[in-house]
Structure 1
Amino acid sequence: MRNRERVMLGGAGVLVAALLAVAPWPAREERARPAAPGAVAPAADPVPAAAVAPKRAVPARTPEPGQPAATVVPPSPGDVPPEPEVANAPPQQNDPIAEELPQTARWKLEKTEHITTLLGRDVTRLEGERQEARTRGDKARVEQVDALLRRHRVRLDELREEARVLTEAARNEPPEP
């Protein structure tokens, strides 16, 4: 019976301490509220900003459990913020648009060769990925990579043929000014 009395006495002590800690709360809330709607609190009794700020009707949106939070990037030294719009002000003038360069056979050949190079790198990467999937025994991934490789190789053949035709056209083209 002695242990039970100690537990009861300890619980009563914790309850009294909690009541004493919570007792002044309503008094603080009443002091923070103005006397009437629209009334201003007296200057002698400053009110913290948190007590005056209106409560939000909608809780702040938090990212979903698998979604990353938004990344805030600080401005770089060369960044220029847009100027604010002013009422009744004339619209701002845009920078002139540079003329588009002529899409000659040489230009198309250069772009086609660049795309061919990138696609060739992709084929090499996929072949390595297929080999890794085979060593792991991942048959589903091997099939996926094989399908991608087939598509890439067909596109590579098309690009090489196009490059051959463009090479001939570039030879017959007059030199650039």
Structure 2
Amino acid sequence: MMNRKRWMWVAAGVLAVAVGLGLWWSPEERAGEADAAALEEASAPEVAAAPSKPAPSVARGEAPAAAPPPAEEPRAATVVALKPGDVPPEPEVENPPPQENDPIAPELPQTAQWKLEKTTHITALLGRDVERLERERELAEARGDDARGRQLETLIQRQRGRLTGLREEIRVLTEEAAKESAAQ
């Protein structure tokens, strides 16, 4: 009884995969496969109708001479009618000319005001990160997770050190931005 149920589940799985694959391919792809099969069938009689050379007779004791390979007839390319929206390919060029690249735009000046704004933004983000880490540390200590609490404390100390450096940089950039605006 269990064996029969297993086979039924396997059969249902195979059927589901087959249906899924059938729905996966679009009707256009299936039509393209049918067209390819029809072209193969149409070209098969032409190949069979090609004249064949009779096999040379070999006398007793003689080694058969190596027959030259049959000369292959040039086959015509398959021509497929263009459908609406199809674009014919461009003919290939032996040595195409090198492509011209667009000119590179000059880099915008990174003024002291610009640097000040970026540093202020980074400092604000880092401050929020420190606050989030402090909340996580408090939660970890409340849970009794001392290892996580020490890890978060180390991260907080590092971030506070970075914040101190950024605040000093903001002070310097503020002075430079003031000098820069006074010079203009």
Q: TM-score, normalising length from structure 1?
A: 0.48
Bigger Rg, structure 1 or 2: 2
